[in-house]
Amino acid sequence: MAFWTEKLASGVRDPKRSFRFIIRLTSFNQSHLWFAKSVDKPNWTTNAIEHMYLNHKFNFPGRTEWSPISCKVVDPVSPDAISTLAAITTAAGYHPPTNPGDLTTTAKSLAVGALGDVVISQIDWEGNEIEKWTLWNAFLTKVTPGSLDYSAEEMSEIDMEFTYDWATLEVLTDGADGTDLAGQTRFWSTDGSTDPYPGN
pLDDT surpasses 60 at 177 = no
Judge whether 159 lies within some domain.
yes
Residue 128 included in any domain: yes
Mean pLDDT of the residues in the chain:
86
pLDDT single digits (tens) 63-78: 999 999 999 999 888 8
pTM of the model: 0.83
Residue 178: predicted pLDDT: 47
**Is residue 62 domain-resident?**
no
pLDDT in tens, 7-53: 655 556 678 899 999 999 988 888 888 989 999 999 999 999 999 99
CATH number at residue 91: 2.30.110
Q: Identify which has the larger pLDDT, 84 or 1.
A: 84
| pLDDT tens digits along 82-115 | 999 999 999 999 988 888 888 888 899 999 999 9
* Strands of the chain, DSSP E: 21-25, 36-39, 43-53, 56-67, 69-74, 118-123, 129-136, 139-144, 157-163, 166-171, 186-187
Structural domain count of the chain: 1
Q: CA 82, CA 158: separation in Å to the nearest integer? A: 8
Q: Domain range holding 24?
A: 14-41+68-187
The pLDDT value recorded for residue 168 is 92
Q: Which pLDDT band, with edges at 50, 70 and 90, does 182 fall under?
A: very low
Q: Does residue 51 lie within any of the structural domains?
A: no
H/E run at residue 113 = helix 108-115
- Is residue 175 a part of any domain in this protein? yes
Residue 46 lies in a domain: no
